[in-house]
Amino acid sequence: MPDRHPSKIVERLFKLMALGALVIALGTLTALLVDALLDGGGRLNWQFLTSFPSRKPEQAGIASALVGTIYLMILTAACALPIGVGAALYLEEYVGKHWLARVIEVNIANLAGVPSIIYGLLGLELFVRMMGLGRSLLAGALTMALLVLPIVIIATREALRTVPSSIREASYALGASRWQTIWHQVLPLALPGILTGSILALSRAIGEAAPLITMGALTYIAFLPDSLLAPFTALPIQIFNWVSRPQPGFHANAAAGIVVLLAVLLIMNGLAVYVRQRAQKRLYL
Amino acid sequence: MKRMTQVIMGAVVVSITQAAWAASLITADGSSTVYPITEAVAEEFQKQHRDVRVTVGISGTGGGFKKFCASETDLSNASRPIKPSEVELCGKNGITYIELPVAFDGLAVMVNPSNTWATNMTVKELRTLWEPAAQGTITRWSQIRPDWPDKEIHLFGPGVDSGTYDYFTEAVVGRGGASRGDYTSSEDDNVLVQGVATDPLALGFFGVAYYEANKDRLQLVAIDDENPANGNGPILPTYEHVAQGTYQPLARPIFIYVNRKSAERAEIQAFVGFYLTQGRPLVKEVGYISLPDKAYELALARFEQRRGGSVFGGTGAQVGVKIETLLAQH
């Protein structure tokens, strides 16, 4: 005889709903991926990865956009991580529960929700014009760094909070200074969480076209950026351009570009998982 | 960690020193309509001039002029002539420019292939349909022509920020930027194509290049401006009709603007010369209509004499002009 107890029915219903949510989320993603693969699969080859944009869709490639995106991500991480982690450390480890920290926390959370195009406008005025960096890779990376900074700070603070205070106290008890405690105890324990949050932040940045177009990233470039001050383009911009062209050949290129973008994202996330696991293993051996 | 820092520092030093002897750079930005032409010209030009690098951006005609007038670009792509506010901005920053028409773009009025009645329309009928007063009142095909079916009409057009919208409203309604607001608008013309191709009661307008790429899913409406000087009766936006100037008033010239100071540089002279001579066949290849040869020659002469200013007097879009007449006058 089946169990008719109401709590069991609720239990089942909830499980079904949760499963439904998963199916919807995964289904949408699969549909998008399959669609992009069907449209652009034929264009995915070495020639596509190593060619520059062209007016002929079958000769066009994403070399400049792919390299631009990779450089941009490395530079963005190099700018945003030290500043973001530093700011979070100060707020969490030095200021503590002061009311000012609360005010700053709310404001940072707000900044994380500001539309990305606003950061593009800020980047255009501050980096491109005032600092005279021009429409360069460096200006683009700094703009992207501003965009991801709030997320890095929030993620780092969360990670720092998961470090038990008993560890800090034990460290102090052994005579360690605050700096020694942070460097040798707190940071290594928080590192996996910091990395996860930072990679999520960079994953947001990698798909952004609006702030880059606003600050002046270009669309047609037939050379690879060879300096920090070189002009550049990025994958989302190239994809956006191809999608809006009339000829169907360019639409296939756009789909192939989307697959490449997803692959880069996957590699980035895979790297993060690997680094995180290595960091964790070292701690609990 | 230390080694990584050293590697990064090393890379930074190398890249900064490399920048010092980079190849000469030509920067263009502006309209997305003109972009495919400049891209094609840049591609071919760089095959012959390996030491010159050309970059092209898309920030819209208005956005392009903002950068151009701040001396950030050498060339500006524009789907309409420069506007008074932009003339003023350039003037304030001491930027003078040479205006060069490079191609025609035809605006096509399109319906769904299953539409059997709307094969042609007059400009007057288009105005009845698109003017601001039509909002909420002109909603059925039969209100445009009594013998057309008494069915709803669904309108599609580009967003109000685009140069295409500016030109269409100027040409049809008589005032740039004035139209009814109750139509489906998109900045992406492929969305408009999709809309008209799937809705039997649709009517939309967008660049003729988008019709060329979707011929089997769309149907052109021939346009009659009721002016015998531009050919009798309704006229389709074919290559010949736009090139000869009989597809009026929905054919417009599109431009590049060259910074006069940049024009002193040898690589800019080579690029612009290439654009107006060897660029001609590329215009057709990317879906636009070449100007008459005479117009290219006049434009080239204009560039070689470094003649500044706009033949449109800096007043923005003008409708129904023969480009070679304008060039010859100035």
> Do the chains contact at A220 and B55, CB–CB below 8 Å?
yes
How is residue A182 written in tokens? 């942070």
Per-residue pLDDT of chain B in tens (330 residues, 90 and over written 9)? 445 555 555 555 444 444 444 468 999 999 888 999 999 999 999 999 989 999 999 888 888 999 999 998 999 999 888 888 899 999 999 999 999 999 999 999 999 999 999 999 999 999 999 999 999 899 999 999 999 999 999 999 998 877 788 889 988 998 878 899 999 998 888 899 999 999 999 999 998 888 988 899 999 999 998 888 777 889 999 888 888 888 888 988 899 999 999 999 999 999 999 999 999 999 998 989 999 888 899 999 999 988 888 877 766 666 666 777 777 765
Assigned domain for A12 exists: no
Three-state secondary-structure class, residue B271: helix
pLDDT computed for residue B318 by the predictor: 66
User: Residue for token digits 């890249």?
Assistant: B15
User: Rounded to a whole number, what is the distance in Å from the CA of B79 to chain A's nearest CA?
Assistant: 16
* Alpha-carbon gap, residue B296 to B278, rounded angstroms: 11
Distances in whole angstroms, Cα of residue A184 to Cα of each of A161, A177, B116, B123:
16, 10, 79, 77
Assigned domain for A69 exists: yes
Residue of B nearest to A243 (CA): B190
Other Cβ atoms less than 10 A from the Cβ of A197: the count is 25
Judgement on whether residues B222 and B120 belong to the same structural domain of the protein:
yes
Alpha helix (H) ranges present in chain A? 6-40, 46-50, 63-89, 99-112, 116-123, 137-161, 165-173, 178-181, 187-206, 210-215, 235-243, 248-284
Report yes or no: B29 at the A interface, CB cutoff 8 Å: yes
Domain final residue, candidates B194, B212, B244:
B244
Q: Which of A55, A229, A244 has its CB closest to that of B188?
A: A244
Question: What is the distance in angstroms between the CA of the first residue and the CA of the last residue of chain B?
Answer: 66
pLDDT computed for residue B6 by the predictor: 55
Q: Which of B25, B35, B43 to mutate: most A Cβ within 10 Å?
A: B43
Assigned domain for A189 exists: yes
Domain final residue, candidates B227, B244, B261:
B244
User: Rounded to a whole number, what is the distance in Å from the CA of B14 to chain A's nearest CA?
Assistant: 8
Chain B residues whose CB is inside 8 A of the A230 CB are 19, 22
Judgement on whether residues B226 and B315 belong to the same structural domain of the protein:
no
Contacts of residue B90, Cβ cutoff 8 Å, sequence gap at least 6: B65, B68, B69, B82, B96, B97
* Alpha-carbon gap, residue B207 to B190, rounded angstroms: 10
Q: Is the peptide bond before B149 cis (omega within 30 degrees of 0)?
A: no
User: Rounded to a whole number, what is the distance in Å from the CA of B137 to chain A's nearest CA?
Assistant: 33
Judgement on whether residues B110 and B225 belong to the same structural domain of the protein:
yes
> Do the chains contact at B46 and A222, CB–CB below 8 Å?
yes
Report how many domains make up chain A: 1
Judgement on whether residues B46 and B173 belong to the same structural domain of the protein:
no
Residue-wise pLDDT tens digits, A80-99: 999 999 999 999 888 878 88
> Do the chains contact at B16 and A228, CB–CB below 8 Å?
yes
At how many degrees (to 10) do helices A137-161 and A99-112 cross? Answer: 130
The 10 Å CB-count burial string (b at 16+, else e) for A271-280 is: ebeeebeebe
Judgement on whether residues B261 and B313 belong to the same structural domain of the protein:
yes
pLDDT computed for residue B36 by the predictor: 92
pLDDT computed for residue B16 by the predictor: 47
Q: Which of A244, A250, A253 to mutate: most B Cβ within 10 Å?
A: A244
pLDDT computed for residue B315 by the predictor: 64
Judgement on whether residues B116 and B220 belong to the same structural domain of the protein:
yes
Helix (H) or strand (E) holding A207: none
User: Rounded to a whole number, what is the distance in Å from the CA of B321 to chain A's nearest CA?
Assistant: 27
Assigned domain for A43 exists: no
Domain final residue, candidates B244, B266, B282:
B244
Judgement on whether residues B316 and B306 belong to the same structural domain of the protein:
yes
Domain that holds residue B305: 2-104+252-329
Q: Which of B19, B56, B67 has its CB closest to that of A219?
A: B56
Chain B residues whose CB is inside 8 A of the A241 CB are 35, 58
Three-state secondary-structure class, residue B28: strand
Assigned domain for A144 exists: yes
- Nearest CA-CA partner of A35 in A280, A262, A273, A270: A262
Report yes or no: B189 at the A interface, CB cutoff 8 Å: yes
Judgement on whether residues B229 and B308 belong to the same structural domain of the protein:
no
Q: Residue A224 maps to which CATH number?
A: 1.10.3720.10
* Alpha-carbon gap, residue B217 to B229, rounded angstroms: 32
Q: Which of A55, A228, A247 has its CB closest to that of B40?
A: A55
* Alpha-carbon gap, residue B101 to A235, rounded angstroms: 31
Judgement on whether residues B214 and B135 belong to the same structural domain of the protein:
yes
Report yes or no: B15 at the A interface, CB cutoff 8 Å: yes
> Do the chains contact at B15 and A228, CB–CB below 8 Å?
yes
Distances in whole angstroms, Cα of residue B243 to Cα of each of A258, B35, B236, B248, B252:
38, 20, 12, 11, 10
Contacts of residue B119, Cβ cutoff 8 Å, sequence gap at least 6: B221, B222, B234
How is residue B275 written in tokens? 């654009």
pLDDT computed for residue B329 by the predictor: 65
User: In angstroms, how far is CA A93 from the centroid of its own chain?
Assistant: 25
> Do the chains contact at B58 and A54, CB–CB below 8 Å?
no
User: Rounded to a whole number, what is the distance in Å from the CA of A90 to chain B's nearest CA?
Assistant: 22
How is residue B310 written in tokens? 């706009």
Chain B residues whose CB is inside 8 A of the A213 CB are 57-59
> Do the chains contact at A227 and B19, CB–CB below 8 Å?
yes
Report yes or no: B7 at the A interface, CB cutoff 8 Å: no
pLDDT computed for residue B45 by the predictor: 95
Alpha helix (H) ranges present in B32-77? 35-48, 60-69
Interface of B with A in 235-254 (CB under 8 A): none
Judgement on whether residues B210 and B274 belong to the same structural domain of the protein:
no
> Do the chains contact at B53 and A78, CB–CB below 8 Å?
no
**CB-neighbour burial class of residue B329 (10 A; exposed 0-12, middle 13-18, buried 19+):** exposed
Judgement on whether residues B15 and B74 belong to the same structural domain of the protein:
yes
CA within 13 Å, CB half, B129: 26
Q: Residue B267 maps to which CATH number?
A: 3.40.190.10
Report how many domains make up chain B: 2
> Do the chains contact at A231 and B40, CB–CB below 8 Å?
no
Going through B167-209 in order, the beta strands assigned E by DSSP cover 184-186, 202-207
**CB-neighbour burial class of residue B262 (10 A; exposed 0-12, middle 13-18, buried 19+):** buried
Q: Are B36 and B286 in contact (CB under 8 A)?
A: yes
User: Rounded to a whole number, what is the distance in Å from the CA of A103 to chain B's nearest CA?
Assistant: 35
pLDDT computed for residue A285 by the predictor: 46
Chain A residues whose CB is inside 8 A of the B210 CB are 246
Assigned domain for A276 exists: yes
Domain that holds residue A232: 62-283
pLDDT averaged per 10 residues in sequence order, chain A, 285 residues: 74 94 94 90 90 91 93 94 94 85 89 90 91 90 94 93 91 92 90 87 88 85 88 92 89 93 90 81 61
Report yes or no: B56 at the A interface, CB cutoff 8 Å: yes
Q: Which of A127, A247, A250 to mutate: most B Cβ within 10 Å?
A: A247
Judgement on whether residues B73 and B150 belong to the same structural domain of the protein:
no
